[in-house]
Amino acid sequence: MFEITVANFIDSAHFLRGYKGKCSNIHGHTWRVEVTLRGEKLNEIGLLADFNDIKKIIKESTDSFDHKLINDLEPFNEINPSSENIAKYFYQMLSDKLSTMGEGVTIVKVLVSESRDTSAVYYEIH
């Protein structure tokens, strides 16, 4: 079994509705969105999938968040833009887009970090 991971960074702000503390105020992060793919077979040149193709798809999917207030973007205008919810959002968005990476290649997880020492992971058990 092989796994590969690709990350992208975005700068954006958010605030947590209903949170009792500083995070209820608008504040910004340099977010790391990290996507891990898995598969059993490598292609004819020894790759699970092309890093550049994956980077392009992740960047296209995260660009709409860059330099924005996440609370203004759907679905986060209704649900809290916590790291956990953002990780789930990108997992679901990227699952279909990354299914074209190769036969048997699946998304394993999405990790979202809002700082050097905090992160949230979303994955589904199949």
Annotated active-site residue in 14, 29, 34, 114: 114
Does 27 qualify as catalytic in the annotation? no
29 is catalytic: no
The span from the CA of 40 to the CA of 48, in Å, is 8
Catalytic residue among 3, 23, 40, 60: 23
Q: Active-site residue among 3, 27, 67, 124?
A: 67
Which residue(s) pair with 122 in the sheet?
A: 110
67 given a catalytic annotation? yes
Report whether 41 contacts 104 (CB < 8 A).
yes
CA–CA distance from 46 to each of 1, 6, 84 (Å)? 13, 17, 34
Active site (catalytic) residues: 23, 67, 114
